[in-house]
A and B are shown apart, each in its own frame.
Chain A
Amino acid sequence: MLDDFMLRATLAGLAVALATGPLGCFVVWRRMAYFGDATAHAAILGVALALGFQISIFIGTMVVALVMAMIVSVLAGRGWAMDTTLGVLAHSALAFGLVAVSFLPAVRVDLSAYLFGDILAVSRFDLAVIATGSFLVLGLILWRWAALLTATLNEDLAHASGINPGHERLVLTLALAVVVAVALKIVGALLIAALLIIPAAAARNFARSPESMALGAIIIGGLSVWGGLQLSLLQDTPSGPSIVVFAAMIFLVTTIAGTVLQKRSGR
């Protein structure tokens, strides 16, 4: 069982889509796109450290992503505009990571696998870790759903309802770090944010409620994984970017369809 690399790749991708769908919605609703980028780019530094200290890549990327997310949270709103802070951090993290990897002469590192993903090389062990991480994130978000949504809407309103918005922010930060660690293998550090944002944005075009948008994002993410893998197999294109290309096409189609439908219903 699970001998076929395509089957493993597809399952791993679908598992990640379960987590990136709802998390991506929060990234869109809370305008955390750049935040996701900064956290994901930091993963390369995590890879370098993991290889250097000979620890699991999953652990290395998750820890560094988490530290990065914490730094961003602390620095947010101090002195610089948010997008400047995040721009500095996102690109610095990537550059530091790339330089750090070059200090590892003993290991022949295939950098492109970490930058753009290597979903076709998912082993059984990888699959187990990816599935566990994805289900953990999905479970966490489902458990906190109402509180997360309330805190996203308005922090004062959340407080008045007995919800601590700080806790909910922490939940999302944790979820993001885990997603970065498990999605690294699927689409790579450069495109993790795309996997979060594009399916959610595409789902927004027809969603009528937060729940239907999250579900739509999961389905679109899953379709993108499947379509991207087929494209990659048939045309020998890089798998990670192929998945994102597929997602982008779905976004385009739903945007056009959404606009047409809206015009027809006269709104």
Chain B
Amino acid sequence: MSLISAVGLGVSYGGRKVLFDIDFQLERGEIVTIVGPNGSGKTTFLRALLGVVAPSRGRVTRAKGVSVGYVPQRLHIDPGLPLPVSRFLSLPKRRSTSEIATVLERVGVPDVARQNMATLSGGQFQRVLLARALLVKPDILMLDEPTAGLDQPGVASFYRLIDEVRREIGCAVLSVSHDLHVVMSASDRVICINGHVCCEGAPHVVRAAPEYRALFGLGTGGALALYQHSHDHEHDHDHNHDHEEDHAHHAG
């Protein structure tokens, strides 16, 4: 049985259809990436799966006992709220000091437990958010543009971390992303959304799909195409760093 599924899902805000006719299943251990232009309903889709927004049509079913670790796109913490990292990780459920130390170590920020959330750098902050999601021992890790605001090396190392973690605990990963070039190649399945599902399938299938090209071909234009070109040639090698520079160069 699927971990989570949506059948004929539709979501409307004040009469405007944001999503319609979406069928979706996520299987155990799968890596699925949702891509789509701004305003295409990607985030709404994730929030509907989380149960934050109620579907106006269709339904979302979650298998019994499935735990979801959620990493939000942004987390604004009011400056009036003093919040040490260890306290943040203990919300809403108390976690022991050793649990917190272990998970912070795992995400590569072992020394921040006593620091205030407001003093963390962008990269540290994202890792702490990931740590909190990992504490629930998730069957599904849901990430909403988790690397927005990180620089290129930061993005790459964050996704490497996600990949390591997934191998360790075997969770499914469902992410919404703009970082197409980094994410797509690591995905089992890519779903391209623009209100409805435009196209879906393995990364190389989606990449070649005319619907996908129509949505992204012009916008990110040459940079993306060039990147994919170089990527296609060396897809089995782990040349992440070169890739970024390559990409950054073309993009610039």
Contact = CB atoms under 8 A, between A and B. Distances in A.
B82 A209 contact: yes
Contact of B47 (A156, A161, A204, A210): A156
B92 A149 contact: yes
Interface string A156-200: 111111010000000000000000000000000000000000001
Contacts of B214: none
Given A159-B52, A160-B50, A29 B72 contact: no
Residue of A155, A159, A207 contacting most chain B CB atoms (<10 Å): A159
Nearest to B116: A208
B81 A29 contact: yes
Contact of A29 (B52, B80, B87, B136): B80
A89 interface: no
B50 A146 contact: no
Interface in B86-133: 87-88, 91-94, 116
Nearest to A208: B82
Nearest to A206: B82
Given A153-B77, A157-B75, A209 B83 contact: yes
A108 interface: no
Nearest to A160: B70
B92 A150 contact: yes
Interface residues of A, number: 28
A207 B52 contact: no
A146 B93 contact: yes
Contacts of B91: 146, 149-150, 153, 161
B50 A156 contact: yes
Contacts of B94: 146
Interface string B64-87: 000011101001111011111001
B149 interface: no
Most buried by A among B76, B82, B136: B82
Interface string B157-169: 0000000000000
A213 B83 CA distance: 10
B116 to A, nearest CB: 8
A160 B78 contact: no
A208 B84 CA distance: 7
**Most B Cβ at <10 Å: residue of A153, A201, A212, A213:** A153
Among B50, B52, B76, B92, the one with the most A-chain Cβ atoms within 10 Å of its Cβ is B92
A176 B84 CA distance: 27
A147 interface: yes
A154 B82 CA distance: 15
A210 B84 CA distance: 9
A89 B113 CA distance: 43
A210 to B, nearest CB: 6
Contacts of A255: none
A212 B116 CA distance: 14
Nearest to A27: B80
Contacts of B83: 153, 209-210
A158 B80 CA distance: 19
A146 B94 CA distance: 9
B210 interface: no
B39 interface: no
B92 A163 contact: yes
Nearest to A159: B52
Nearest to B73: A156
A29 B78 contact: yes
Nearest to B91: A150
A79 B184 CA distance: 40
Nearest to B52: A159
A154 B84 contact: no
27 contacts: A28-B78, A28-B81, A29-B78, A29-B80, A29-B81, A30-B78, A31-B78, A146-B93, A146-B94, A152-B81, A153-B77, A153-B83, A156-B47, A156-B52, A158-B92, A159-B50, A159-B52, A160-B68, A160-B69, A160-B142, A161-B92, A161-B93, A163-B92, A209-B83, A210-B83, A210-B87, A213-B81
Given A153-B75, A157-B72, 11 more contacts: A30-B78, A146-B91, A153-B91, A156-B50, A157-B75, A159-B51, A204-B82, A207-B82, A208-B84, A208-B116, A210-B87
Interface of B: 47, 50-52, 68-70, 72, 75-78, 80-84, 87-88, 91-94, 116, 136, 142
